[in-house]
Structure 1
């Protein structure tokens, strides 16, 4: 079975997002859709109501796609000022932390390669070896609806299972995927210890971060009758 995850690239999202990279054989960065201006593509949440670190971007039309966005010419200085909000200092005392410090010190150019670099840094450090690619490189047919776009991406990656974040339950239908020969599964809601992952990268060790992510890698039940236990993405089961 080849497991594919497709998700918009987020700027150091909560730890639960990285479960998709942990569980997938292929992780496709969904960058061929409209840029959500109030979403998390360019914003990293910090503890406390309304606290964010936001990547400074060049002005762009409202209907711009994620792949079309660029970091602002003065992004480095503006981002550095925001990073002072972090509860822990940005110290490069481990290889992972140094890579993140270097990344935060040099925001420039197109947005998607920058976000992809951040995803790859974390995935490699935590030992998640899925293949990462971009939907914009697949030359998808124009006019596909949201669900059909995902199905086409999964087909092109040779996928037989598609996994999605919990919010996808309102977007995708198991029956439609089943007719296409693709198993559809959704992650359970993340209940781990690191909802604010960027600070955690400078406060916690890699082993604890990896364990937190892997321990949350479970599918939602198909229904209460069909599946009384939640199935792990890695083949075993546990009780809710």
Structure 2
């Protein structure tokens, strides 16, 4: 999976389901995607927050991108937007810790946040970066070789990948291709109509910790 910034719950369900997760960071950056931005819900509606990138270009690989270092403004917005949330007293200091990580590298910053949230959600998974694994193939052609390199007999992708990947292509290499699909479970969002698929930030602030496991298991495998 590509590295996404504070992604929606389905990303964490995938992390929770697999035993090895490879951050696919040596592919080209996609503008207007979720690599460096996401959405949360404020009292006046949906709000899109973005990590500013120095010279963002679709001609650069994700692992080549550098941060401008102005992401403290996102933390301030989180503080203002979720100050009345159920878990503010515990989750806001956690967010401060995530945003205090200092690295000019976008992928390093995102990897740090992924590992911190995995720890918070009690997700046990090995996390690697594709840019650190030397193979002759590149891009999407690297997926099956990566599976073979790590002796994987199952590859799991979000359900959106059904249009990109074919099970027969993986079966030819004795790999079972599966897709994970989020089953939306609603939760209270500060007395507003429920908005699904927001950043994990919204989930962490609003859902009682005792219910986190139930939401992480809210998926089906296709």
Q: TM-score, normalised by structure 1?
A: 0.78
RMSD (CA atoms): 2.4
- Aligned match of 1:128: 123
User: Which is further off, 24-33 or 51-60?
Assistant: 51-60
Higher relative strand content: 2
User: Which is further off, 188-197 or 171-180?
Assistant: 188-197
- Aligned match of 1:158: 151
What SS does structure 2 have at the residue aligned with 1:28?
strand
Check if 1:72 corresponds to 2:65: no
User: Structure 1 residues 141 and 168 mapped into 2: Cα distance closer, same or farther (>3 Å)?
Assistant: same
What SS does structure 2 have at the residue aligned with 1:128?
coil
What CA distance in whole angstroms lies between the structure 2 residues aligned with 1:88 and 1:140?
Answer: 47
**Can you list the C-alpha shifts for 1:103-149, whole angstroms capped at 9, x where unaligned?**
2244641011111111111111211111001011101214x452x31
**Can you list the C-alpha shifts for 1:61-106, whole angstroms capped at 9, x where unaligned?**
4311110111104x14443454356344698733x65332222244
Residue-pair matches, total: 209
Contact 1:88 1:203 in 2 (8 A): no
Q: Which has the higher contact order (CA 8 A, sep 6+)?
A: 2
User: Structure 1 residues 56 and 22 mapped into 2: Cα distance closer, same or farther (>3 Å)?
Assistant: same
Q: TM-score, normalised by structure 2?
A: 0.84
Contact 1:160 1:182 in 2 (8 A): yes
User: Which is further off, 202-211 or 152-161?
Assistant: 202-211
Q: How does 1:9-20 map to 2 (within 5 A)?
A: 9-20=3-14
What CA distance in whole angstroms lies between the structure 1 residues aligned with 2:149 and 2:68?
Answer: 34
